[in-house]
């Protein structure tokens, strides 16, 4: 029977690995990745400190997910806010951090920062297509020392396919409901130490929402990857030179506009007429050169990289002839009938001789780049009869966001939104940029059954902001910070052990924030244990994040007041604590059928420790003991399977508890100069239980067929009320596919 991979060492330098379904095991493709410690069901106890989870290609193939939200449901400690149902705009947090646009976690592809501008504007509007990934890695706890700049929560690394040693390729075709289609193919081989890999993915769907006036609400995505490498097998050192090129684009008819609660109950998949012009158009390019030098005792990797990203997202920003935000209108449509009727297409913009109420469609046109050089090294030695494993890294990085936003008026006429010619005007026109140097050093020392790791991370950032219209509005600032960490693992027996760690977390402010906005800082603790006995594994880890200063930022996806966009807010001391648990067991029903079972559970609590009067509308007037928004107290995923030689069946049952949508209450200053409307005060999302089913059948030399049903019971729940109204998750969708590998 095939072995399922459980986890990897936190000590990894994030070099890619390749898992081939034909061999049903991890294949290490070169000396560059031999330092990774992959543990299967039959192997010994993991002894690294800190929390780390690996989802291999075999596990990713079980449900053939294209949505990173659904993939990460099998990882403990992950909190998510859904938005579009397809995972086009991921909102991911770890251990209670705000999941808004995944800006509080560090996102990597093959160990390199992949966000459009991870220092200057960390909101991850670009996210790689997970369909072409061969592994997904999640690091939490003291492992954050190695991966920055966001270290308050953890790191997500997406691992692309390695150039295969032998000739290898595959084709994967799938069709499904709501116009879903997937075409995925790759081919690679190595000949005379020269290797090449070419991979391409196309995804599309018409969408499951029903747009007033007709039209698609789906997307098209393309992703192309090419790798070229040269291997040198030396007497003392092996070397690999690799060039990676990638291109991706997306055209999606996606909107920020949700529904009123009343309209959601009548038809949760409706989309108002005002969202007809909405569209996201993106393009991403990457070039990366990698050199790896390795021997039995040392592994050195140098990477030079550049990412470019352009996007233009046209969406509803507001209405003319009113100071009301869209969220305020949809939260109380009976009080704002005129504006609601224009948004929903029930009335024309020009009505009974009144001043026209036009739709303000804003196109957030932005260009980004990030580039740099990164050096990582691992080496081991024995000193005073103690085993040392040293990890060191240096990164010199630069990134920039260039905003060229503009707005146009659209007239609602007989249920259709039509452009008002000559109405275009500039909106935000600015640049934010950062030059950063980051370093880390970690030493892991083994003393009998105890392994202790001490590390230090440094971040040195020079930031610049300038308004391109008001040239007197500019700012330069510098941030310097050192982040220590200490962790350990004590082996109680051959099958069990305890882990513990403490480290300082950090999240920088953006270049345009003034000095009164402080960086986010926390002291994070974890304690837990592991058990491994043949086909049963268990890990339970408790965590406590003590924020001396919590920080939030306002974007169009989280705030309704246009005056607060790109503004950050401080909340002072906040505590987030909880428990992460994962259990895996494989039962042999007979000589040919196994039944793998896994359970992942996360319990999280949060509380503000200070009374604040915040202008951030998700906080407002917060009292000690109030909890953070969009953070479920309880989450669990149960995976059940039947696994035979030529067929497989899997059922995933995911539970997410209700999440409060705002922490505090509305407030006004004594002199009435400031008023903050906490729009979703007292509201929460729904509890949800989502079942995903998948099955596959091997056809021997002729490939395999597979099918899946997402949201088997067609559960309909409010998953979020931001941005701009109630939003549903994905309805029941099915697809069938064929995959051939050679």
Q: What is the pLDDT of residues 387-443, one digit of tens each?
A: 899 999 999 999 999 999 999 999 999 999 999 999 999 999 999 999 999 999 999
Helices (H) and strands (E) in the chain, counts: 5, 42
Architecture per CATH, 5-593+602-741: Beta Barrel (2.40)
**Placement of tokens 């990894």 in the chain:** 12
User: What does the domain layout of the chain look like in residue ranges?
Assistant: 5-593+602-741
Q: Of 12-21, 401-410, 445-454, 665-674, where does mean pLDDT reach its minimum?
A: 12-21
Contact (CB, 8 A) for 329 and 336: yes
The pLDDT of residue 3 is above 50: no
Non-local CB neighbours of 264 within 8 Å, separated by 6+ positions: 258, 718, 725, 726, 728
Q: Any residues with CB less than 8 A from the CB of 424 and at least 6 apart, and which?
A: 406, 407, 408
Torsion angles phi and psi, residue 566, rounded to 5: 65, 15
Give the tokens for residue 11.
């000590």
pTM, entire model = 0.92
Q: Which residues pair with 581 in a beta bridge?
A: 540, 601
Contact (CB, 8 A) for 580 and 90: no
pLDDT at 13 over 50: no
Mean pLDDT confidence for 718-726: 94
636 CB neighbour count, 10 Å cutoff? 18
Which DSSP state fits 57?
H
Residue 36 has pLDDT above 70, yes or no: no
- In the prediction, which pLDDT does 376 show? 97
- Please give the residue that has the higher pLDDT: either 26 or 134: 134
DSSP strand pairing (270-271 vs 210-211): parallel
The mean pLDDT of 624-650, rounded to a whole number, is 97
Q: How confident is the model at residue 29 (pLDDT cuts 50, 70, 90)?
A: very low
**Quick count: other Cβ atoms within 10 Å of Cβ 99?**
25
DSSP helix/strand/coil, 339:
helix
212 has a pLDDT exceeding 80: yes
Mean pLDDT computed over every residue of the chain:
91
pLDDT in the model for residue 43: 58
CA 309 – CA 529 distance, rounded (Å): 42
Chain-centre distance for alpha carbon 511: 23
Tell me the HSE value of 82 on the side-chain side, using a 13 A CA sphere.
27
Structure-block tokens of residue 119: 């220092």
| Phi–psi pair at 123, nearest 5 degrees | -60, 125
pLDDT of residue 11: 34
Whole-angstrom distance, CA of residue 199 vs CA of residue 346: 47
| Run of H or E residues at 322 | none
Q: Which of 251, 200, 250, 52 is nearest to 135 (CA)?
A: 52
Alpha carbons 419 and 408: distance in angstroms, whole number? 7
Give bridge partners of residue 233 from the DSSP assignment.
238
Beta-sheet pairing, 450-467 with 675-676:
unpaired
Residues linked to residue 718 through DSSP beta bridges, in sequence order: 728
């Amino acid at each position: 029977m095939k072995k399922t991979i459980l986890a990897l060492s936190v000590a990894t330098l994030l070099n890619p690995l390749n898992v081939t379904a034909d061999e049903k095991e991890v294949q290490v493709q070169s000396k560059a990745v031999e330092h990774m410690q992959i543990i299967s069901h039959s192997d010994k106890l993991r002894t690294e400190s800190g929390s780390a989870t690996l989802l291999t290609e075999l596990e990713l193939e079980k449900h053939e997910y294209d949505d990173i939200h659904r993939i990460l449901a099998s990882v403990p400690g992950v909190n998510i806010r859904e938005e579009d149902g397809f995972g086009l705009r991921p909102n991911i947090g770890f251990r209670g951090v705000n999941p808004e646009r995944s800006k509080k976690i560090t996102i990597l592809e093959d160990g390199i920062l992949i966000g459009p501008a991870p220092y200057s504007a960390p909101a991850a509007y670009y996210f790689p297509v997970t369909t072409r990934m061969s592994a997904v890695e999640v690091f939490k706890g003291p492992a954050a020392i190695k991966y920055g700049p966001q270290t308050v929560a953890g790191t997500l690394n997406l691992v692309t396919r390695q150039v295969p040693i032998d000739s290898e390729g595959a084709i994967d075709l799938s069709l499904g409901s709501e116009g879903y289609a997937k075409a995925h193919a790759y081919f690679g081989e190595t000949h005379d130490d020269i290797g090449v890999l070419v991979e391409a993915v196309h995804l599309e769907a018409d969408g499951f929402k029903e747009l007033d006036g007709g039209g698609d609400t789906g997307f098209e995505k393309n992703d192309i990857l090419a790798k070229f490498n040269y291997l040198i097998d030396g007497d003392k050192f092996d070397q690999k030179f690799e060039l990676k090129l990638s291109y991706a684009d997306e055209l999606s008819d996606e909107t920020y506009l949700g529904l009123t609660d009343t309209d959601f109950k009548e038809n949760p998949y409706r989309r108002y007429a005002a969202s007809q012009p909405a569209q996201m158009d993106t393009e991403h390019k990457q070039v990366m050169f990698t050199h790896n030098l390795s021997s039995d005792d040392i592994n050195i990797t140098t990477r030079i990289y550049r990412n470019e990203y352009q996007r233009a997202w046209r969406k509803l920003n507001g209405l003319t002839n009113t100071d009301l935000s869209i969220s305020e209108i949809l939260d109380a449509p009976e009080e704002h009938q005129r504006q609601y009727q224009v948004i929903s297409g029930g009335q024309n913009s020009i009505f009974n001789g009144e001043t026209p109420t036009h739709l303000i469609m804003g196109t957030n046109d932005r260009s980004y780049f990030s580039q740099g050089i990164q050096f990582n090294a691992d080496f081991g030695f024995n000193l005073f009869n103690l085993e040392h494993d040293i990890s060191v890294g240096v990164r010199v990085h630069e990134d920039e966001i260039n905003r060229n936003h503009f707005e146009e008026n659209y007239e609602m006429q007989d249920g259709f939104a039509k452009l008002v010619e000559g109405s275009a005007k500039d909106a935000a026109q600015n640049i934010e940029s950062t030059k950063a140097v980051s370093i880390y050093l970690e030493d892991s020392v083994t003393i009998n059954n105890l392994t202790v790791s001490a590390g230090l991370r440094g971040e040195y950032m020079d930031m610049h902001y300038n308004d391109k219209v008001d040239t007197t509005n500019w700012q330069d600032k510098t941030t310097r910070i050192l982040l220590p960490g200490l962790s350990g693992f004590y082996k109680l027996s051959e099958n069990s052990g305890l882990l513990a760690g403490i480290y300082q977390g950090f999240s920088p402010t953006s270049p345009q924030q003034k000095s009164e906005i402080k960086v986010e800082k926390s002291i994070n603790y974890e304690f837990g244990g592991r058990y491994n006995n043949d086909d049963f594994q268990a890990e339970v880890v408790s965590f406590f994040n003590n924020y001396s200063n919590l920080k939030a930022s306002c974007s169009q996806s989280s705030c309704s007041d246009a005056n607060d966009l790109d503004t950050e807010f401080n909340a002072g001391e906040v505590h987030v604590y909880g428990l992460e648990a994962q259990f895996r067991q494989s039962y042999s029903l007979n000589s040919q059928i196994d039944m793998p079972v896994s359970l992942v559970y996360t319990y999280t609590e949060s509380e503000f420790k200070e009374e604040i009067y915040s202008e951030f509308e998700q906080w407002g007037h917060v009292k000690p003991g109030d909890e953070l928004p969009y953070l479920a107290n309880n989450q669990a995923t149960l995976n059940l399977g039947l696994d035979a030689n030529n067929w497989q069946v899997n059922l995933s049952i995911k539970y997410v508890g209700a999440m409060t949508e705002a922490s505090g209450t509305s407030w006004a200053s004594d002199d009435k100069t400031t008023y903050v409307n906490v729009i979703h005060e007292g509201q929460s999302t729904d509890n949800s239980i989502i079942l995903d089913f998948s099955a596959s059948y091997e056809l021997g030399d002729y490939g395999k067929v597979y099918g899946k049903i997402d949201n088997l019971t067609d559960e309909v729940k409010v998953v979020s009320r931001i941005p701009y109204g109630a939003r549903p998750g994905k309805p029941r969708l099915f697809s069938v596919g064929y995959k051939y590998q050679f």
